[in-house]
Each structure stands twice: as structure tokens, then as C-alpha cells.
Chain A
Amino acid sequence: MIRYTLKRLVQSLMTLVIVITIVFLLMRLMPEDGYFGDSYEKLDEVQKEAILEDMGLRDPIHIQLLNFYKQTLKGDLGKSIIYRPKVDISTILKSKIPYSLNFGLAAMFISLGIGIPLGIMMALNKGCFLDKIGTVYIVLINAIPSAIYYLFIQIYLTGSFNLPILFSVDRPLSFILPTISMSLGGIASYAMWMRRYMVDKINKDYVKLARAKGMKNRKVMISHVLRNAFVPMSQYLPSAILFTIAGSIYIESLYSIPGMGGLLVDAIQRQDNTLVQALVLIYSSIGIFGLFIGDISMALLDPRITLSKKAGGK
């Protein structure tokens, strides 16, 4: 187990280094307008060159890359150029993350709390009314791009329930719609996954055996089928939890929530190169780290998976 963890860790770190390098190289391809901020129009070529040189962008590429590694390792993500000029990016992030985290965790809680029971009910009553309604819901949510139903929720629900259109911290009512909108997709995917998993397993031999032993249907479902269902889920959940930091791009900009998702859109629209670079780095590290934790926790939870046979014998 330790050996597997170490191996997987090294692999994740290597991927991270590759990703950092790729992001860095791609960023050098970007238009250089993004480095000057508001004063762009007033500068002449000589001044622009001076600024770029000062930022180290005229150094040979391998030295730039080394500096970039050093900076990133120190946790220094650079300074924002246009979004909030001369402010450390980590300071900006600190003010943004709590919002995204709040909404993300709330939405995840709701999705799990509704989606999993819904999936179980659908599987147990296969073909009945609830199953059909649930299936229609899943198809609609999966097929229609989320932007569309987010927009319609914002238009019609704010009107008919008299809820605030935009988010503000001191009005608890304004939390409702963003959270609901964010959890719709999660509910659908958890319910779909759970239903498919249960339907799949109901005909498995070990379930039939448990039934033949005379166990009650309910107990078979809970202690045999459900327990197994959480093993694959343990691989996916860490990423899902970590990604709540990233926020929902649509929701945050629709309801003007000052979180991380809206930040990425802002940074892109104002062409703030260093901020985009930092955000891309953060999102990719979250992705890598989430998968790492997921793999490890799945290995821990599932007794059938022995990942390193030799190490297991010792």
C-alpha cells in the first residue's frame, strides 16, 4: 500500500511538472497586450520593451522556465496586472475561495442527499411512475446545456417566488436559487449512476445468494449492494469536493457571486495574463491532486484491490 501510494505520488508530481511546463509555454504564445494594464495605449515601443524586460519576459526561455518553477514552488503566483493591478494573486484568491466553497459544498450536499436516494428508489421500483419521471429528468438535465436551464431558472423563478436576482451576502434568500441551480446537475448524475449500478448488481450471484439465504430484500440492498456502490464513488468524491473551490463559472457570473468561477471569466475578458496563468495552474493542480486522493482512497476502501502484490506479502 505504501509503495503504491509513493508510486502514485511520484506520478502525480511528474504530471504536475509537465502541466506547469505546458501552461508556461502556452502562455508565452499569448498576445503581449495582457502585460501592460490600462496604460497600454499610452506606451511607446521602447517603454513596452522595458516593461517586458523588467518582468523577465525577454530572458532566454529556459531561464524564464526555471524562474517560473522557483516562483511556483515558493507559492508565489505573481501579481495581477489588469484585474486588480499590482495585487498579489494569492490575496485575490483568499477573498474569493470562501464564496465558492460555501455554494459548492451546499450544492454537493443537496445533490448527494437527493440524488442517491432518488437513484435507489428508481432502481427498486423499476418501470414505475417515479422511475419514468426520474428518467425524464435525467435525460433533460444531461441533454440540455446547463446555461439554458440556469438562465430560465433565473428569469422565471426570481419573478414567481419574488427572490432576489443578484447575490448579496446579507440576504439569505439570495442563496437559494444559485444553490438549487448548482445542484440540479449533480442530482441527475448521482441518481443516474446509482440507478444503473443497482440495476446492474441486482442480478449478480452474490445478491441472489443473499436472497436465497432468506435475507430481507431491504437488508440485501443496504448491506450488500449499497456498500459496494460506495467503493467506486470513493474514487470520484475527493475530486468533487476539491473542485467546489473552483466554483461554478455560469452560476457565479449569472448571480454575480464574487467567487472563483466568476474570477476566471473576468480574468479572461480583461486579458489579465498572469491571473489566467495562475488560475489554470490552480485548477490543474486540483485535478491532479483530486485524482491522486481518489485512487488512494479507493485502494484503501476496496479490500479486493491489491495494487502491489509483492509489498502486500511483507
Chain B
Amino acid sequence: MNSKKIVKLTDSLNDNLFQFAKFDRRLAKKSGYSNYSYWGSTFRVFSKNKVAVFFLFILVILLTFTIIQPYLPNQMSPIEIAIDPDTNMQFVNHPPGKEFLFGTNSIGQDLWSRIWSGTRTSLLIGILVGVWEAIIGIIIGSLWGYIRSLDRIITEIYNVFNNIPTTIIMVLLTYIMKPSIGTLIFAMCITGWIGMARFIRNQIIIIRDREYNLASKTLGTSITKIILKNLLPYLVSVIMLRMALAIPAAIGSEVFLTYIGLGLPINIPSLGNLINEGRGVMMNSTLRYQLIFPSIILSIITISFYIIGNVFADAADPKNHI
């Protein structure tokens, strides 16, 4: 029926048809296409929460300052005792002012530099504990959930750990070992992974036998790859939340252990040590600043981590996207 004769193929072709179409959001939406990207949406949902963005901003400034503070000019060493050149006496309990921004403590050390040095110590403990919790929790949790033969053994181990109050384990270990940063981290880590591992195990058991995993398995994907590619991406939001909350919890535990006399030795400034020193003089209203300044810095850090962690977990949950 086709009566028109095509002499040359190229004659009938319209060059316009072979050009790339420009991306149009509205048209794209009409056809059901979405340029959805997981991290992009997570970021968009997160940035909608003004409070969380505010705290993120504060936390970033605080962290940057904590890191660069010792390299700034005119900073005193946190363990150096300031001596008054006129009287040759120590600057004991010097109130906050021009010379000592946050004042000095009862033996004449500069509270300003002690607070930043303490923040570094406490954050180091917090972050290491958080990372450890994530790594061990994920490894044990996924083995526990995915490999059936291990289920029994790990459940029994879990029962033993879960039955003893965490505080008691922490107190016992720090009591036995020498006080140091390593001891504190070790004592917090030994029970830290439990909650995470249990959660990951429960989630993995739920999604382990879904069809797509079955398909993956029949195609011969290795266990490691199934866990890493199929199962863990589901759990990003929870893992991030637990990590973010582990940091303020570890900082709180450090304060607690210092309080009951099992914390770091006094020559290492940490927020716990500073608060403990401040507690000693807190009933004297002119010296109270020694408790208030470290408390404020510590509270800002823990509140920021807590809020950012919670909001980020919400944002990272695909159910809340779009």
C-alpha cells in the first residue's frame, strides 16, 4: 500500500528527532519519571527542619573551633598554672575577664583552654565509642540475623550481657583496670554493641527471606554481598541514629564515671573532670562559673548530637521522602 517511494533513506529523516531532549521537570513528572536520589532527598528533608539545621551549624562551628583552638595565638596550655608576675603568686580562682576569658580554677589553670582540651578528650571518647558500636553491632547483628546456625550461640551470649545492668559492667571494668582514656573506651564498648546488634538482627530476620533476596541467592550471590548490598541499605537511618546517640551517651557515661571516682586521672582535662572540679566549689556563688561554663559547653554538644541524630534518622527513612 505504501505508494510513496523512498529514494534515499536520509531524505525522509528529520534531524530534529535525533537531538537530546531538554530535561523538563514538569513533563518528566507527567510521565512518571522521577530523578529520585536517596541522599538528595534525605538532605532535602533534613534541611527543612530549621531547628536541626541550626544545631548542625552550631555543632560544626564548635567542632572546628575545638580542633583549631590550640593553634590559635595567645592560647594557654590547659595544664599550665598561671602565675601573677607582680606578686609571684598563682592566679587562683581568678574570675572570668579579659585576661582569662572563663576565669581560672582553684589551682590557677586557665579554664578556657581546659574546656576546649576537655571537649577534645570527651569527643574523642564519644566518637570512638560510637564508631565501635556501629562496626561491631553491624557485624555481629548481621551474622546473628543471617546465618541461622549462629543464632542460638549469639542469643545465649546476648542473654548474659543483657541481663547485667550496663552501668555495673562499666563500673566493674573501670574499677579493675587502670584509669585512662583507653580503659573508659573499652568499658563503654564492651556493652555498647548489644542494642545495635539486636536491632539489626531483628530487622534482617524480617527482610532476609523476601523474594529479591531469594532471587539473589539462587543467582549465586555471596553472603557478604547479600548482607552489604541487599540488607544493610535498609538500615542506614537506624544505624546513623544509634551512632549519633552513642556519642552523647558516652560523654554522659564519662561524666558519671568521673563522678563516682573511676574516671580519667585529673591531669587529663575532660568535661567530666571539669564538672567534677566545678562541683567542688559550686556552693560558693562567686566560683560557680567553674561549673557553669563546662556544663553549658557539654549540654550544647549533647543536645546537638541528640537532635541532629533524631532528625537525620527521620530524614534518612525513605517513608518520609517527598
Interface residues of chain A, those whose CB is within 8 Å of chain B, are 11-12, 15, 18-19, 23, 26-27, 29-30, 139-140, 142-148, 151-152, 155, 165, 243, 249-250, 253, 264-265, 268-269, 276, 280, 283-284, 286-288, 291
Contact = CB atoms under 8 A, between A and B. Distances in A.
A152 B295 contact: yes
Contacts of B164: 19, 283-284, 287-288
16 contacts: A15-B159, A18-B160, A26-B173, A142-B306, A144-B302, A151-B282, A155-B291, A249-B256, A250-B256, A264-B260, A268-B175, A269-B261, A280-B172, A283-B168, A284-B168, A288-B163
B251 interface: yes
Contacts of B172: 23, 26, 276, 280
Contacts of A249: 167, 256, 259-260
5 closest Cβ contacts across the A-B interface?
A145-B252, A143-B306, A143-B303, A288-B163, A284-B164
A283 B165 contact: yes
Max chain A C-beta neighbours (<10 A), residue from B173, B260, B261 = B260
Interface in B306-322: 306-307
Max chain A C-beta neighbours (<10 A), residue from B162, B288, B295 = B295
A167 B168 CA distance: 26
Interface string B156-185: 000110111101100111011000000000
Given A269-B261, A291-B163, A145 B306 contact: no
B206 to A, nearest CB: 17
A147 B259 contact: yes
Contact of A147 (B163, B256, B262): B256
B168 A147 contact: no
Nearest to A159: B285
A249 B259 CA distance: 10
Contacts of A11: 159
Nearest to A254: B279
Contacts of A280: 168, 171-172
A32 to B, nearest CB: 12
Contact of B160 (A15, A140, A142, A152): A15
B275 interface: yes
B308 to A, nearest CB: 11
Contact of B175 (A12, A30, A165, A284): A30
Contacts of B260: 249, 253, 264-265, 268-269
Contacts of A139: 303, 306-307
B199 to A, nearest CB: 16
Nearest to B260: A265
Contacts of A253: 259-260
Contacts of A151: 275, 279, 282, 291, 295
Given A143-B307, A165-B283, 15 more contacts: A30-B176, A139-B306, A139-B307, A140-B303, A143-B299, A143-B303, A145-B302, A148-B255, A151-B275, A250-B256, A264-B171, A269-B261, A283-B168, A287-B164, A291-B163
Q: How large is the interface on B (under 10, 10 to 19, 20 to 34, 35 or more residues)?
A: 35 or more
A276 B165 contact: no
A313 B132 CA distance: 46
Contact of A287 (B165, B275, B306): B165
A27 B172 CA distance: 9
Contacts of B160: 15, 18-19
Contacts of B275: 147-148, 151
Contacts of B256: 145, 147, 249-250
Contacts of A283: 164-165, 168
Contacts of B302: 143-145
A245 B299 CA distance: 30
Interface in B129-178: 159-160, 162-165, 167-168, 171-173, 175-176
Contact of B283 (A155, A284, A288): A155
B103 interface: no
B168 A155 contact: no
Nearest to A243: B165
A19 B163 contact: yes
B170 to A, nearest CB: 11
B298 interface: yes
A179 to B, nearest CB: 20
A146 B275 CA distance: 12
Contacts of B163: 12, 15, 19, 284, 287-288, 291
Nearest to A291: B163
A145 B176 contact: no
B162 A268 contact: no
B44 to A, nearest CB: 22
Interface string B101-136: 000000000000000000000000000000000000
A134 to B, nearest CB: 15
Interface in B239-259: 248, 251-252, 255-256, 259
Contact of A146 (B159, B175, B252): B252
Nearest to A283: B168
B262 A268 contact: yes
Contacts of B171: 264, 268, 280
Nearest to B282: A155
Nearest to A281: B168
A156 to B, nearest CB: 10
A94 B243 CA distance: 41
Nearest to A23: B172
Contacts of A146: 252
